[in-house]
Amino acid sequence: MTLDELVETFEFFDDWEDKYRFIIDLGKDLPALPDADKTDAHLIRGCQSQVWLTYKITEGKLAFNMDSDAHIVRGLIAVVLVAIQDRSAAEIQQLDIEGIFGQLDLLAHLSVTRGNGLRAMVSRIKEVARSQPA
């Protein structure tokens, strides 16, 4: 799914409950992270639920793998991955992910702790991107 398709799908739903179910369904399609990668070294601090992040670089593009122990968070991860997956470090650093969340009206419908966790995920992703050689 592309970012444009995600935004278009969100606009299709009139009710936030439908969007919520859609987010959860996105999370169901997210590949599970192997248990060997669910370590403290890969844990993102600041999330209400446990969230792990690994990544690799292929041909100058970052590919992230993320997982969580909560269904809604897995869905939020899927939304984030649509926005950032397979981009260069520079593209990720310049990407206005908060703007994307605003366009989806996402943060307005999440609890403060879920919103903070989402921001912690984005912060960690941007930190990974900043750590890559130019």
pLDDT in tens, 34-93: 999 999 999 998 888 999 999 999 999 999 999 999 999 999 999 999 999 999 999 999
- Which of 6, 23, 33, 47 is the catalytic position? 47
How much of the chain exceeds pLDDT 70, in percent? 99
Torsion of CA 36, 41, 44, 48, to 10 degrees: 70
- Structural domain of residue 37, as residue ranges? 3-130
Is 72 annotated as catalytic? Answer: no
Contact 54, 126 (CB under 8 A): no
Total number of domains in the chain: 1
Q: How much is the pTM?
A: 0.93
CATH number of the domain within which 85 lies: 3.90.1010.10
Let me know if 37 is exposed, middle or buried by CB neighbors in 10 A (0-12, 13-18, 19+): middle
Backbone angles phi, psi at 52, to 5 degrees: -115, 145
SS3 assignment, position 10 = helix
